Amino acid sequence: MSAPVFRAAGAGALLADFGGAIDDAVFARVVALDRALTAAAPEGLIETVPAYTSLLIVFDPLVTDHVAIEAHAAPLAATLHAHLADAAVHKVPVCYDGAAAPDLAEAAERLGVSPEALITSHLSGEYRVFMYGFAPGYAYLGGVPEAIALPRKPAAVRGYPVGSVMIAGPQCLITTLPMPTGWWVIGRTPLRVLDTDAKRPFLFEPGDRVRFVRVGGEAL
């Protein structure tokens, strides 16, 4: 595969762009460079932020610059051992019953399937944590089966609680804060992806896998 293209992203960041295809092979290279920079950090590095097809490398512009960061990162990117076989697997309990799944019936109707068929499809998905964004701990999961890939709602709806499990297109999310959303809320989990009191406040790491497991309302 080709080397990433490096682009300046403001005065204190460099973007390593691996291309436009969202798939495991591309994302494995993003994660590999992220880990390589963590293991061999250049002077002035502040953090790295992985996304679907790119890695944002944030640095202190008073200590270093774009040229020096690229000179450090480019050789690492050229020798990546890109694989996700060692990714952690998280089992996430989900209740699909009643008030925990306010959009389940409408989503199923729009898809032309029964609510139970939608649930079965959702449980069968192989989900990958691609990135965090939008809100603290808000992990974007790829892998929603094509059979239940609905477009977003025409307008957002307020008042969804923490732990709402929702889908839109090929993605799935678990809310970490009460928030409005235009995604389809088909269940709720008691698991907290965000714990602000923990040493590691985010439960998932980019590259991790997620499997959903059905539970009853007593688990909430």
Residue 18 maps to which CATH number? 3.30.1360.40
Domain count, the chain: 2
| Cα Rg of the chain (Å, integer) | 19
Confidence of residue 1 (pLDDT cuts 50, 70, 90): low
> Which amino acid appears at position 6 of this protein?
F
Tens of pLDDT, residues 95-143: 999 999 999 999 999 999 999 999 999 999 989 999 998 888 899 999 9
Q: Say whether both 51 and 101 belong to one domain.
A: no
How much of the chain exceeds pLDDT 70, in percent? 98
Q: Say whether both 66 and 106 belong to one domain.
A: no
Does some domain include residue 84? no
pLDDT of residue 79: 84
Q: Say whether both 95 and 42 belong to one domain.
A: no
| pTM, entire model | 0.86
Domain extent at residue 139:
89-219
How large is the average pLDDT for residues 176-201? 93
* CA separation for the pair 10, 100 (Å, rounded): 42
pLDDT of residue 24: 82
Residue 101 maps to which CATH number? 2.40.100.10
Tens of pLDDT, residues 37-72: 999 999 999 999 999 999 999 999 999 999 999 999
